[in-house]
Amino acid sequence: MIPGQKNIMLRYTFIVVIMLTLAICIIAKAAIIMFRDKGYWQDVADRFIKENVVVHPTRGNIISADGKLMASSLPEYRIYMDFQAGGIEKDTMLMNHLTEICEGLHEIFPDRSVQEFRKQILNGRKQKSRHWPLYPKRISYIEYKEVKRLPLFEKGKNKSGLHAETFNQRKKPFGSLAMRTLGDMYSDMSLGAKNGLELTFDSVLRGQDGITHRQKVMNKYLNIVDKPAVDGCDVITTIDVDMQDIAEKALVDQLENLKAIWGVALVMEVATGDVKACVNMQKAGDGKYYEMKNLAVSNLMEPGSTFKTASIMVALEDGYVTPDYVVDTKNGMVNMHGSWMKDWNWHRGGYGAIDVTRIMEVSSNVGVSSIIEKFYGDDPQRFVNGLRRMSIDKPLDLGIVGEASPRILDPKQRYFAKTTLPWMSIGYETQIPPIYLLNFYNAIANDGVMVKPKFVKAISKNGNIIQEFPTEVVNPKICSDKTLSQIHTILEKVVSEGLAKPAGSKQFSVSGKTGTALISQGKGGYNVGGKTYMVSFCGYFPSEKPKYSCLVQIQIPHGPASGGLQAGSVFSKIAERVYAKHLYRDLAHAKDSTSVLVPDVKNGDLVETAYVLRTLNVPGNSNTVPYGHNPLWGKAECTTTHADLKQVKPNKHTVPNVHNMGAKDAVYLLESQGLKVRLNGIGKVKEQSIAAGSTLHKGQTITLTLKN
């Protein structure tokens, strides 16, 4: 051995051991950082290093024609606790107020017990987590505000450790009303819209993303805006919430009564083409009806007898027939190229010889098909061209995703057989989406002017209109004035004297046409067993000066089927309720010049009450209440002739009496006294859970029951 070699080896071994130890320590520390402290260092990174962070804008609202909010983006939150924030002082406060905090959380979120909240907080404290969930579900803004009022949490994020993740959630204040028309968003709203107006106007509603980065300024880290987010615009629809509700209730009642498969109800303003109601109901597995698909624009179905109006109009326009032209319908059965055309009453002997008006009143298949076969059988193209002159098959390009276009066979097409023309004339071998059929009848009501149906009136930003959608004319005249006058008379008689009487009203006149069609089963042909039908009624009201057109279509899995009775009765309910909605009376005619009208006056802030009473010239002492910005609390004592106001000064040490106050005044008064308020119902306060005059303890929760 070389002298000193042993010492060198010992030194080398010592160095190797030290290096290995250091390497193991580094690897262990890296593993701890990567796994155990991952959350902490991610928070640190988020806090100090943020480059090009995308800031999502607030999505625009969808608003009804009458100014009601139909879809809006509201914030939701998930709440977390940082147990390393605030140091020892925070931890001491947490343990001192733990019971109060847990009781407060339980009161806000009753589905979790006080013990569960206590266990959750102590587990997070034990693990020293910087991002520990306090509650597993998303919460509303109001609930988040209540949480931040609890002991410790009221001190802010840095001292209390309470922080939240914010999510934008699409909310529909009217629930499922017009749900398919409005459309849906993906659960992650950043992915965009699925369907309906949400998808059609996604680029307008979405807005533009902004960009920020974090920068150290004056020894503090600040979020610097590189590009501000631009919030989305609001879309103002043509939908009237009240009409939508009227149409939905009338339709669903009938669907449940008939145990139907699906149903559609549409209401459109004649002059403008504004779609005021669009109801699409389908039966679900639980037997209830929901809006699952926009059937009104996407459903391609054979229209049945509602199409007879178009067939007769072609013959009237070409001068082949007049309303009093007589057709021999025989015994209700006629052989058409080897197939039997039958009227609904063929087994009773049919109608015999009847004129065109009566043919439409009783919806005679034999009558209509005989006319079309006689005058167009040698040249079916003339009949199809006549339909196209009226633009019944012209694509409307509504902009709704999933929109279908009418399918009318052309004689040049492969499947146009000899029987096609007569069956086409009564609404078979032709497919038309509901909204196209309604648009055709709307043109008849609109003196022959066909306008494009529209679902959106305007786009607004910050309350200002930035784009309007005017009425668009599809066809300035679908037929001559003579034909229009004739078909107006015929359609009015269909309701007043024909099979469509259930669609009529005692209050005003209605015009329209019924439809009852066997549902085609594809390769199996028509369901001649009569197990599946589509019943419908399409028309307008009032007949003399049409304001609205309306279509009702229902598919039922059984017979007997009657478009007039089963669909027409729904039309009648919708029409009468919509008509009543527009009945206005001048109150001056109802008021007796010698009478005094004293309104129902709520208790509460007398300043606002007195202002209203003075404006209405209601006798009483309202002139003695001074105008000011601070509320003067009191109550009203009303008789049939006058209204007197009496001031009541609240006691700071007792619970105020909020009986007969409105929700706004009651909440303001109680919260100004340090109480937390929960509301149940609508109207005026009828009950309060803590009796008036009780000793007041700040932080207590008082529940108010409101009733009209």
Helix (H) or strand (E) holding 704: strand 701-707
Mean pLDDT (the chain) is 86
CA end-to-end span of the chain: 108
- Position 523 scores a pLDDT of 47
321 Cβ neighbours under 8 A, 6+ residues apart: 312, 315, 356, 371, 375
Domain 241-581 fold: Beta-lactamase (3.40.710)
155-168 pLDDT per residue, tens: 888 888 898 888 77
Sheet strands (E) in 102-240: 132-133, 139-140, 162-171, 210-217, 220-227, 234-237
Residue whose C-alpha is closest to residue 364's, from 513, 518, 570: 513
Position 594 pLDDT exceeds 80? no
Are 614 and 622 spatial neighbours (Cβ–Cβ below 8 Å)? yes
Report the pLDDT averaged over residues 329-358.
92
Rounded-to-integer distance, Cα 297 and Cα 332, Å? 35
- Position 425 scores a pLDDT of 94
Position 529 pLDDT exceeds 80? no
Position 126 pLDDT exceeds 80? yes
- Position 446 scores a pLDDT of 97
Q: How many CB atoms lie within 10 A of CB 185?
A: 23
42-65 pLDDT per residue, tens: 665 555 555 677 777 888 889 999
Between the alpha carbon of residue 419 and those of residues 32, 282, 334, 340, the distances in Å are 82, 33, 12, 10
Position 584 pLDDT exceeds 80? no
CATH of 604-707, one of 3.40.50.720, 3.30.10.20, 1.20.210.10, 3.40.50.10300: 3.30.10.20
Residue whose C-alpha is closest to residue 458's, from 185, 63, 59: 63
Rounded-to-integer distance, Cα 499 and Cα 6, Å? 119
Helix (H) or strand (E) holding 514: strand 511-518
- Position 247 scores a pLDDT of 95
Read off the pLDDT band of 182 (50, 70, 90). Answer: confident
Position 625 pLDDT exceeds 90? no
Residue whose C-alpha is closest to residue 570's, from 297, 282, 264: 264
- Position 620 scores a pLDDT of 82
Position 698 pLDDT exceeds 80? yes
CATH number for the domain running over 54-237: 3.90.1310.10
Position 571 pLDDT exceeds 50? yes
- Position 220 scores a pLDDT of 59
Residue whose C-alpha is closest to residue 548's, from 349, 274, 308, 178: 274
Are 233 and 239 spatial neighbours (Cβ–Cβ below 8 Å)? no
408-431 pLDDT per residue, tens: 999 988 888 999 999 999 999 899
Helix, strand, coil percent values for the chain (each to nearest 5): 35, 25, 40
- Position 674 scores a pLDDT of 85
- Position 665 scores a pLDDT of 85
Where in the chain are the domains?
5-48, 54-237, 241-581, 604-707
Are 267 and 486 spatial neighbours (Cβ–Cβ below 8 Å)? no
- Position 176 scores a pLDDT of 81
Rounded-to-integer distance, Cα 268 and Cα 552, Å? 12
- Position 530 scores a pLDDT of 45
421-465 pLDDT per residue, tens: 999 999 998 999 999 999 999 999 999 999 999 999 999 998 889
At position 592, the amino acid (one-letter code) is D
Q: Residue 529 has which token pair?
A: 């067993």
Read off the pLDDT band of 5 (50, 70, 90). Answer: low
Residue 533, SS3 per DSSP: strand
Q: Give the rounded percent of residues in the chain with a pLDDT score beyond 90.
A: 45
Read off the pLDDT band of 527 (50, 70, 90). Answer: very low
Rounded-to-integer distance, Cα 445 and Cα 417, Å? 34
